[in-house]
Structure 1
Amino acid sequence: MLYRLRSTDGKFDRLEPVAFKDFSSFGNLEKDLEELIAASILDVLFEDASLMPIFQERQYQAEADIYALNENGELIIFELKRGAAGEDAVHQALRYAQDAGQWTFSTLQNKYNQYINSSTDLSLAHKEAFNLEHPLDAKEINKKQHLIIIGSAADDSLINAVDYWKHQGISIDFLPYRIYEINGEKYFEFFALPYDRHKNPSDVKGVLFDTNRSWDEESIWYMMENNRVAAFGDAKRFVEYVYPGDIVFFSHKWTGIVAAGRVKKGSIKAPDDETLYRDVEFITPIPRKGQAIKAMPFGKVSEITGKSFFWARTIKVPYLSKDEADNLAKELKAYLEKST
């Protein structure tokens, strides 16, 4: 809940609740909410809980809205409700979960290929996404299912139904959202499990950022030679997630972390419609074009930070705290200098 702070003689002395709305208040479709959640599920809403989206519902099909895998290969099933839905929505979601629990690996493989519009082995994609030592065996994927219902914070009937089934031993959770309209601007409030932890955008943080090698081998040199952290095409929005003072660790696919730089003060720049970048000051040695690229292996990064990252995205969540980022930068600098 959002409260407006009221004060008397410069002293905060009372709270005034701010009215909230949901997607249906603005005439938006449930599909709009689905696309918003799907686009933000990893890097914004669940920044400390790595999930690998593998499928979204198709029109006129009896399917949940979003399906994802966690690091253990368990299936996370999201059902989204834009406005008041009631207990029938939970019954519907339970049927989806029951159906999904019977899906074979082959079924999941086919759904994943439809989702990414490519023929990629699901086990290998999962291994790469979570940087596992070995891919999970087919029978280890979808051994367990978890149901998450996202709906309006004002939908008491839906909340009560979720609580009932949760107390019956079903792995189900309710995540509420609210929309506030303040001075003509709309704000989306979302509560992520388990403690709604999010890094404060104003806090200095560490960000593992992809060099775009999968799409363009030259992207790394665009960044290294111009002192930039950049992203391109549909992924360019990720540059908006880093702020002045943050430490960016450049993650080069199949290689490791190749450099670190501190984001400089100044605005985001857009040299063309397909590119966004911020200026950085490198604080470690950087690779040079035409020379062998030295890098800290991804496994060592996890060893130093004690974190398991989701490697398959432009930004490798979770973020690092300032102290964690400073320590990794120090270790990376020593590692790269020793390798020289």
Structure 2
Amino acid sequence: MKVNIAEHQAERVPPQKLVDFECAEKDLQKVLFNSLDRLLPDEELLVIAQSRQWQEEPDILALDDQGRLFIFELKKWESRSENILQVLRYGQLFGRKAYEELDRRFRQFRPDQQSLVDAHAATFGHRLPESKFNETQVFVVVTNGLDFTTREAVRYWRGKGVDVRPWIYRAYKDPNSRREHFLLEMQRFSVNDNPYEDLTSTGFFVVNTNYRNSREDHKDMLKNHIAAAFNDPWKFKIERLTRQSTVFLYQSGKGIVAIGRVAGGVQKADHRGKSDYKFYVHLDKFARIKPPISAAEVNDLTGRQYSFQGTLFEMDTEAAEIVSRAARQRSRISAAGLETER
């Protein structure tokens, strides 16, 4: 909506098709793949595979905390009935896969990781029996909001009891840019609603130290005063950390164990034999927090219900200032030493 405050009027801005901006569907697909760290909630979904070239397979396979298999289809053609049929075809192919096959795909995708059942337990904090993996499937198809044929098909199959969901994007003309530039509206995919996603922040972040997957990674962050993430697409989350951002380092099962301020730009390093698989930033004004501020304590102090299972999330300013005060009290840091110039 374009709002005119003086006249108390609101006008709906009409969305357009990709072809109106000379944008091919394959180009949008590349944009989505390059933005997975922003679009998929790693606190809700564990990505276990991405598509390989020339293979008949979904673009993304992911599991939720209950072991449901989410099948994402991003290869999107506007206004084609085949869109919904393709994702259902993948359901036919992958719905029969036992745990062993999912584990094999996961180890190909993440060769540095442990077994799928262990990685799932490390991500969600509880252990599932192998028989619970892939008992049910959820189908997700990307579609332009104008693509009513695909949306009608989704509604039809949902009415038949199939859990298929549209992931809608809308394209708008950017009045301040050239023709090939446009505005894209696409909500972060969520299994559950995140009531805090629109609260404003001025640069406060919680970064998981990866303790459950690698104690060496955890020790590296604390010893060398860095905030880091590893592997695609999670490593790209570190690019959200800019100079002067405040970072809380969170250890799974313990709580916030350190605090610091971003001192420079993102750096890259090899990780377990893979080139540039580690993205990190250096932190100055670094301090350990003893005892750690537990996740339950953070939520009690702030009145929020944050999930700490993901790689990184942004904390709204009001809540972050409360946590910063608690951190200063425990680490005996002066207020001037931690507060950033905002």
> Normalising by the residue count of structure 2, what TM-score does the alignment of the two structures yield?
0.72
- Matching of residue 113 in structure 1 with residue 107 in structure 2: yes
Q: Which amino acid aligns with 1:286?
A: R
Q: Name the structure 2 match of 1:189.
A: 185
Distance in 1 (CA, whole Å) between partners of 2:59 and 2:228 is 31
Q: Name the structure 1 match of 2:154.
A: 162
Tell me the CA shift for residue 139 of structure 1: 0.9
Distance in 2 (CA, whole Å) between partners of 1:46 and 1:198 is 16
- Matching of residue 97 in structure 1 with residue 91 in structure 2: yes
Cα gap change, 1:153/1:208 in structure 2, threshold over 3 Å: closer, same or farther?
A: same
Which of 9, 15, 23 is the matching residue for 1:13?
9
Deviates more, 1:196-205 or 1:61-70: 196-205
Q: Name the structure 2 match of 1:139.
A: 131
Distance in 2 (CA, whole Å) between partners of 1:23 and 1:220 is 49
Q: Which amino acid aligns with 1:208?
A: V
Distance in 2 (CA, whole Å) between partners of 1:59 and 1:24 is 28
Distance in 2 (CA, whole Å) between partners of 1:33 and 1:270 is 26
Tell me the CA shift for residue 300 of structure 1: 5.0
Q: Name the structure 1 match of 2:316.
A: 321
Deviates more, 1:273-282 or 1:170-179: 273-282
Percent of residue pairs identical: 24
Distance in 2 (CA, whole Å) between partners of 1:84 and 1:72 is 33
Per-residue CA distance 1:211-266 (angstroms, 9 max, x = gap): 57755954444437xxxx577997664344246886521135787532234679xx
RMSD (CA atoms): 4.0
Per-residue CA distance 1:55-106 (angstroms, 9 max, x = gap): 1122333222111111222111111243314322212211211322211000
Tell me the CA shift for residue 148 of structure 1: 1.0
Q: Name the structure 1 match of 2:197.
A: 199
Q: Which amino acid aligns with 1:113?
A: R
- Matching of residue 37 in structure 1 with residue 35 in structure 2: no
Cα gap change, 1:45/1:119 in structure 2, threshold over 3 Å: closer, same or farther?
A: closer
Tell me the CA shift for residue 204 of structure 1: 4.1
Tell me the CA shift for residue 160 of structure 1: 0.5
Aligned residue for 2:155, secondary structure, equals helix
Aligned residue for 2:83, secondary structure, equals helix
Per-residue CA distance 1:308-331 (angstroms, 9 max, x = gap): 3334x3x1x4x4334443444455
Distance in 2 (CA, whole Å) between partners of 1:272 and 1:240 is 11
- Matching of residue 258 in structure 1 with residue 260 in structure 2: no
Tell me the CA shift for residue 114 of structure 1: 1.5
Q: Name the structure 2 match of 1:290.
A: none
Cα gap change, 1:216/1:28 in structure 2, threshold over 3 Å: closer, same or farther?
A: farther
May I ask how many residue pairs the two structures share in their alignment? Answer: 310
Cα gap change, 1:263/1:216 in structure 2, threshold over 3 Å: closer, same or farther?
A: closer
Give 1:32-71 correspondences, 5 Å limit. 32-41=27-36, 43-47=37-41, 50-71=44-65
Aligned residue for 1:108, secondary structure, equals helix
Structure 1: tracts of 5 or more residues without a match: 288-293
Aligned residue for 1:127, secondary structure, equals helix
Aligned residue for 1:259, secondary structure, equals strand
Q: Which amino acid aligns with 1:173?
A: R
Aligned residue for 1:50, secondary structure, equals coil
Distance in 1 (CA, whole Å) between partners of 2:267 and 2:203 is 26
CA contact under 8 A between 2:46 and 2:120: conserved in structure 1?
A: yes
Aligned residue for 1:150, secondary structure, equals strand
Distance in 2 (CA, whole Å) between partners of 1:321 and 1:87 is 41
Cα gap change, 1:249/1:166 in structure 2, threshold over 3 Å: closer, same or farther?
A: same
Distance in 1 (CA, whole Å) between partners of 2:194 and 2:154 is 19
CA contact under 8 A between 1:247 and 1:262: conserved in structure 2?
A: yes
Aligned residue for 2:44, secondary structure, equals coil
Distance in 2 (CA, whole Å) between partners of 1:116 and 1:103 is 18
Distance in 2 (CA, whole Å) between partners of 1:232 and 1:124 is 17
Cα gap change, 1:70/1:270 in structure 2, threshold over 3 Å: closer, same or farther?
A: closer
> Normalising by the residue count of structure 1, what TM-score does the alignment of the two structures yield?
0.72
Which of 217, 223, 226 is the matching residue for 2:225?
223
Cα gap change, 1:128/1:303 in structure 2, threshold over 3 Å: closer, same or farther?
A: farther
Cα gap change, 1:48/1:103 in structure 2, threshold over 3 Å: closer, same or farther?
A: closer
Distance in 1 (CA, whole Å) between partners of 2:166 and 2:217 is 37
Aligned residue for 1:257, secondary structure, equals strand
